[in-house]
Amino acid sequence: MQIVATAAWSIPKTVANRFATEGSSLTRYASVFGRVEVNSTFYRRHRTSTFARWAESVPDSFRFSLKFPKEITHTRLMKDIAQPLETFLSDISALGNKRGPLVCQLPPSLVFDLKVFDTAFHVIRSMDDGPIAIEPRHKSWRCNEALDLMESYSIDRAYADPVLVWQPEDFADAPRYMRLHGKPRIYYSSYTERDIKSFLSLLAPGGWCVFDNTASGAATENALTMLGPHRKP
């Protein structure tokens, strides 16, 4: 069964009746969804105690995916990343077995450079062997060298909508991580039921589908549509 989640755990008033009425926002979110993507780790560092509190707020089966800090992806541009990566991994270790994939979202200007990313991926894999999904945003990544490098380090390429790099037909194997940002207005636009069915058919069994069109509240509504009235999280 595919996994449905949103970026962060806000609950719009329009669908509040679908969730538990008591507890924190995270606890209420976890009464319906079994996964969430944490975007705030991209923008700032959280205390280890914060991750521990989050882990205690959700069921044992719940999992968090987390974005790499922007210091790694956008400031350092994936160069000399050992120190901030070590700090990040140490901070999130409090999640324990509730930690899911790490998400590496790259800036649109960052071209594929075999030497840079071979070094970066080597550093990452020397510190962490968990699942990782990468979302590059420059078309130079649409090449065999990039695909071979990601495969050699067991790093999944995320399918993103709107499409910037890989079209659905570019995936020989169904994507295991999907990030849906909203279209035509990124972060705001809602998807139609037809869109949602199409995304669901593309996703690998057990893969993550994360709705990131959170600015208008559409993410939660769309995720509930994909989850369906009879599916468990």
Report the 10 Å Cβ neighbour count for 63: 17
- Residue 195 pLDDT: 96
pLDDT below 50 — which residues of the chain? 230, 232-233
CA dist 226 to 44, 105, 208, Å?
30, 24, 12
**pTM listed for this prediction:** 0.94
**CATH classification code of 3-227:** 3.20.20.410
Tokens 């979110």 belong to 29
Polymer length of the chain: 233
Collapse the DSSP code of 13 into the 3-class scheme (helix H, G, I; strand E, B; otherwise coil) and give the result: helix
pLDDT of residue 230: 42
| Per-position b or e across 190-200, b if 16+ CB within 10 A of its CB | bbeeebbeebb
First-to-last alpha carbon distance for the chain, in angstroms, is 10
Residue 229 has a pLDDT of 62
pLDDT in tens, 92-125: 999 999 999 999 999 999 999 999 999 999 999 9
Answer for the pair 181, 199: CB distance below 8 angstroms, yes or no. no
pLDDT at res. 232:
44
Q: Which amino acid is at 111?
A: V
Instruction: State the pLDDT at residue 1.
Output: 73
Cα-Cα-Cα-Cα dihedral of 103, 106, 107, 111, to 10°?
Answer: -170
